[in-house]
Structure 1
Amino acid sequence: MASENDSSVKEFILLGLTQQPELQLPLFFLFLGIYVVSMAGNLGLTVLIILNPHLHTPMYYFLFNLAFTDLCYSSVITPKMLVSFVKQNIISHAECMTQLFFYAFFVIDECYILTAMAYDRYAAICKPLLYQVNMSHQVCHLMMVGVYVMGFVEAMAHTGSMLRLVFCDGNIINQYVCDILPLLKLSCTSTTINELLLFIVVGINVTVPSLTIFISYTLILSNILSIHSAEGRSKAFSTCGSHVIAVSFFFGAAAFMYLKPSSASVDEDKVSTIFYTVVGPMLNPFIYSIRNKDVHIALRKTLKKRMFA
Structure 2
Amino acid sequence: MRLGYLHARVTDLADARRHYVDTLGMQVVMEEPNRLFLKAWDEWDHHSVVLEEGGVGLDKIGYKVAREDDLADFEKRIQAFGCTTERMSKGENPAVGDGIRVTIPSGHTMELYHEIEFTDTAVGLINPALFPRHLVGIGVPRLDHCLLKAEDIPLSERFFSEALDFKPAERLVSDLSDDAELLGTWMFCQHKTHDIAFVAGEDGKLHHWAYKLEDWNAIKHAGAILSMDDVSVGFGPDVHGLSRGDTIYFFDPSGNRNEVFAGGYETYPDFPTITWTADKTNPAVSYIGREVADNHFTVDT
TM over 0.5: same fold?
Answer: no
Q: Which has the higher strand share?
A: 2
Structure of greater relative contact order (alpha carbons < 8 Å, 6+ residues apart): 1
Structure number with larger C-alpha Rg: 1
Q: Report the TM-score range of the alignment, normalised by the length of the smaller protein.
A: under 0.3
TM-score by length of 1: 0.26
